[in-house]
Amino acid sequence: PRRILVPHDFSAAGKPSLAAAREWAVAFQARARLQFVVEHSAGLYDYAANMEGSFKEYLERVRTQALERFRRLIREEWKGVEAEAAASTGDPTAEILREATDFGADLIVLGTHSRSTLERFFLGSVTQKTVERATCPVLTVRSDGAPLDVRSPIG
């Protein structure tokens, strides 16, 4: 891979996927883009709990904070890797796929949350939907750090 997209939600479960993505980027001297998506529905819930300013301002503040966290992470932990940060608002799966296309990603590295089958059925799974729809290989990393699956659209 020459360009690795690393969607991340800042959860503890996602930390192993960051480490795996960094290892791949170093090993292949690949460029990386760390991505955060502010999901509208989750954002609305958080906004209702805080009620500061308009909802649009709240989403922008969360997006800006995510970019700064990524930039700090890149400076402190991704030395030697050509990496950049991206953040957007919308449906996480759609935004990941859009970013993969815009960036020209030839690998997506995603963390998984160990949800039950029933939880995935009702809540959906961003990782599962991304694996199903991506046009490039997707490496999924379990929250315990073990690689779960590599799915390639080629076969």
Q: What is the pTM of this model?
A: 0.83
Token pair 């046009």 is at which residue? 135
pLDDT of residue 12: 85
Q: Are 81 and 34 in contact (CB under 8 A)?
A: no
How far is the C-alpha of 30 from the C-alpha of 3, rounded, in Å?
5
Taking residues 18-41, what's their average pLDDT? 93
Q: At what angle do helices 126-133 and 92-103 cross, to 10 degrees?
A: 40
Going along the chain, which residue ranges are E strands? 3-7, 31-38, 83-89, 107-111, 138-141, 147-151
pLDDT at 105: 98
pLDDT tens string 107-136:
999 988 765 554 444 445 888 899 999 999
State what percent of residues in the chain have pLDDT above 90. 55
